[in-house]
Amino acid sequence: MGENRRQSIIELIPGLSIVIILALFTTLIHGSLSSNWQQIVGKVVLGMGLGLIGGNLFVLKSKTKPGIAFSFKTLLKVAIVLLGFQISISSIIAIGGKALFLIIACMVFSFLLAQGLSKITKISSKLATLIGVGVSVCGNTAISAVAPSIKATDEEMSYAIATNTLFGVLAVFLYPILGHFLHLDDSFFGFWSGSAVNDTSQVVATSFSYSDAAGNLATTVKLTRNALMGFVIVGATLFHSTYDANKKNKWSHFKLPSFVVYFLIVVVLNSLGAFDWVSSMDPHFSKHIKSLTKFLILLALIGVGLNTNLKQLRHLGLAPLVVGFFTATLTSILSFTIIRTLLM
């Protein structure tokens, strides 16, 4: 048994080596960008792009496949569990009832809208789910977390991330222009950008370009969206659960993957302060966990890129972009309306 395990680990080395080298190269390129461009173009998007280029320009040897698969299957699940250290129930409560209603309303709306549009455009329900959670929760991190729990394909995951990135980058430029045109105050713009812009880095870039006050509020709102990711993962998993009519217990088809269960356990323990003793011993514990999580997600998405066939992506056509455009646009309008009606 020990010999088999050692052999399995050795089989991972060629593929993992490629993934790690690309991750280091990605970090080098991303670090050479200006701070503004670093916020607009996330490191994981850059890494997945390099993976896509490498995987489609070069023929990868079969011995690299196990390590590459390990990066986007196993390492991604580990990263999702580690995300639980950054989430607590108290941080969700602290944002306030009306703001929490704003966030939840936008989440539910974007998910249902994407599902509805998927029936019109004939894209898969799983791809629609990934686009919906990308818009409503925390962009590429949410897509990365939900994809394995609903067993989405690499192509669906890649297309969802590409769609999310495109409209997120557009938001960085358009939101401040619209904010100044509409004469929005810092508080209004902070709530709006924090609740409607996709990725965390894009929220930071959008809101702080407007003002520091708007940036601070938008970041708080965005982190609350991130904190709700556990509920979104569970909800998406249950939504896509396969029903087995032969099972006597009608609830038996509602199964959560083990890594989602571990994620929820970590969230609960973190909310109860179970890891405070570790932080007291190492004040940088949370920072180390966050850095490790980001690096594992980077490795995973590079693996996704290496394993994605661009020719297969073309079969998806422009329909996902249409779904992404209307989901992002109408969610933004809903957010704007709720803020004007309830919060201002």
Question: Is the pLDDT assigned to residue 243 strictly greater than 90?
Answer: no
From residue 279, alpha-carbon distances to 30, 67, 94, 285 in Å are: 30, 33, 21, 5
pLDDT at 247 over 70: no
Q: How far apart are CA 140 and CA 134, in angstroms?
A: 6
How much is the pLDDT for 313?
Answer: 61
CA–CA separation, 129 vs 154, rounded Å?
14
What is the pLDDT confidence band of residue 124, given thresholds at 50, 70 and 90? confident
Q: Which helix (H) or strand (E) holds 344?
A: none
**Nearest-angstrom CA–CA distance, 342 and 142:** 27
pLDDT tens for residues 252-273? 444 556 776 787 788 888 888 8
Q: Of all residues in the chain, what percent carry a pLDDT higher than 90?
A: 10
Residue scoring higher pLDDT (215 or 333): 333
pLDDT of residue 252: 47
Higher-confidence residue: 266 or 22? 22
Runs of H (alpha helix) within the chain:
2-32, 35-40, 43-57, 65-70, 76-83, 89-93, 97-121, 125-136, 139-149, 154-181, 186-196, 200-208, 212-227, 229-239, 258-271, 276-281, 285-307, 310-314, 319-338
pLDDT in tens, 182-208: 889 988 998 898 888 877 767 877 887
**Of 59 and 3, which is predicted with more confidence?**
59
Task: Specify the higher pLDDT residue, 127 or 231.
Answer: 127
Q: Which pLDDT band, with edges at 50, 70 and 90, does 134 fall under?
A: confident
Q: What is the pLDDT of residues 78-109, one digit of tens each?
A: 887 887 787 777 766 766 677 788 888 988 89
Closest CA to 295 of 142, 54, 86, 75: 75
Residue 279: is its pLDDT beyond 80? Answer: no
Alpha carbon distance 188, 3 (integer Å): 61
> How does pLDDT run across 287-321, given as a tens digit for each residue?
888 888 888 888 887 887 787 776 666 666 778 88
Q: Which two tokens stand for residue 319?
A: 């329909």
The domains of the chain are located at 70-343
> Does residue 71 contact residue 15 with C-beta atoms inside 8 Å?
yes
**Structure confidence at residue 289 (pLDDT):** 87
Share above pLDDT 70 across residues of the chain, in percent, rounded to a whole number: 87
Kindly state the average pLDDT of the residues 114-127: 89
